[in-house]
Structure 1
Amino acid sequence: MTTLIELFISFCQIGMFSIGGGYAAMPLIQEQVVQNHGWLSLAQFTDLVTISEMTPGPIALNAASFVGLQVAGFPGAIVATIGNVLPSFIIVSILAYVYYRFSTIKVISGVITGLRPTVVALIATAGLTIVRNALGGSQLLFNGILLLLALFLVRNYKKDPIFVIVLTGMCGIIVEFIGNFV
């Protein structure tokens, strides 16, 4: 029962302070899940981010569900997911009311303008952490080549991200398969 309460409180905190969406929440989730509670290792967290990104739905919500499932089974997934959604639901409902009621006031407009750079910084931090973790390990060159290939295909050729995920996943399978025979 204590673990369920800890999951709920941790993901409530993440839900309260993850301004800017799921990617902005990743550093907060990492801090709670890896550093504060030790529920996952950094490698497991990196895998969690990858899986959360590939599955349908918001990345932070997927991460909450996966962490809860890993830590306390199905009840943990439910509790972590509710904990993650509840503060956001309440905050967004209040902010929507305030915005529509007072959007013409310059202060409100200024606050929203001031938050934009912070959100970009949080997303960039999450992205850099993921890149650093993905490039680490014994296959630095291979991972770096896959990263550049994925960026090149998505940015220059506007390839579908699902296609790029499948392609790079297959490259990983082939390299792993070849590595087992060498």
Structure 2
Amino acid sequence: MSILIEMFISFLKIGAFSFGGGYAMLPLIEREIVKSNNWISYKEFVDIIGISQMTPGPIAINSATFVGFKVAGILGSIAATLGVISFSFILVTIANHYIVKFKESYIMKAALAGMRPAMIGLIISVFLSLGRESYKDIKSVIIGFIIFGLLLTNKFHPIITILISGILGILLYGLLPI
């Protein structure tokens, strides 16, 4: 099977079976692109997540585009991106007709209430996986605690925290290579 078809199908699965937004998709993205298909390394996966968060747009689409490009160039990025958005596009197109009818449905509300805790579990799972890969030394832990403290106490804008993280990285890893 062509790599483009494989990428489309893998990202179609990611788009079809991931509910709850981009962060909830990360475990499935990780499994498909790092573990099952070995298209990128885990370190590259962590880097792609970082880049996907810094660039405009949904994390799943950005991730699909980056991975597709890395593996198969422009056609790969098109195949992966189309794969990740196809199911949602079709579902929303169909659901749009029925959404008003089922908007107040007890069953729909109950199903969504049951899915919310699962989404938090998926996000925590990815947090732990990314943490194991990202916090490799005391410098990375220091940067993490500083940024966490800034976000918790001062409600810094995410762009400011990214810039501060970059400066801390330059200082701790570039100027003080201990």
TM superposition score category, shorter chain reference: over 0.9
| Aligned equivalents of 2:124, 2:161: Cα separation in 1 | 21
Match of 1:46 in 2: 46
Q: Deviations over 1:26-62 (max 9, x none)?
A: 1111101111111101111111111111111111110
**One-letter code aligned to 2:7:** L
- Using the size of structure 2 for normalisation, the TM-score is 0.94
Question: Percentage identity across aligned positions?
Answer: 39
Decide whether the 8 Å contact of 1:7 with 1:79 is kept in 2: yes
Q: Deviations over 1:62-111 (max 9, x none)?
A: 00000000000011011100100011112233344433212233112211
**One-letter code aligned to 2:170:** I
Match of 1:82 in 2: 82
| Aligned equivalents of 1:127, 1:162: Cα separation in 2 | 20
Runs of 4+ in 1 over 2 A off after TM superposition: 91-99, 174-180
Q: Structure 2 vs 1, CA of residues 177 and 105 (structure 1 numbering), >3 Å: closer, same or farther? A: closer
Offset of 1:179 from its aligned partner?
Answer: 4.4
Which of 127, 142, 146 does residue 143 from structure 2 map onto? Answer: 146
Q: Which runs of 5+ in 1 are unaligned?
A: none
Match of 1:59 in 2: 59
Q: Structure 2 vs 1, CA of residues 127 and 97 (structure 1 numbering), >3 Å: closer, same or farther? A: farther
Q: Which moved more, 1:94-103 or 1:77-86?
A: 94-103
**One-letter code aligned to 2:56:** P
Map 1:1-182 onto structure 2 (within 5 A).
Answer: 2-136=2-136, 140-179=137-176
Offset of 1:130 from its aligned partner?
Answer: 1.5
Q: Which runs of 5+ in 2 are unaligned?
A: none
| Aligned equivalents of 2:167, 2:58: Cα separation in 1 | 25
| Aligned equivalents of 1:46, 1:127: Cα separation in 2 | 11
Q: Which moved more, 1:118-127 or 1:38-47?
A: 118-127
Cα RMSD, aligned residues only:
1.5
Decide whether the 8 Å contact of 1:34 with 1:45 is kept in 2: yes
| Aligned equivalents of 1:179, 1:6: Cα separation in 2 | 44
- Using the size of structure 1 for normalisation, the TM-score is 0.92
| Aligned equivalents of 1:85, 1:57: Cα separation in 2 | 12
Decide whether the 8 Å contact of 1:23 with 1:59 is kept in 2: yes
What is the SS of the residue equivalent to 2:35?
Answer: helix
Aligned residues: 178
Decide whether the 8 Å contact of 1:99 with 1:108 is kept in 2: no
| Aligned equivalents of 2:124, 2:62: Cα separation in 1 | 20
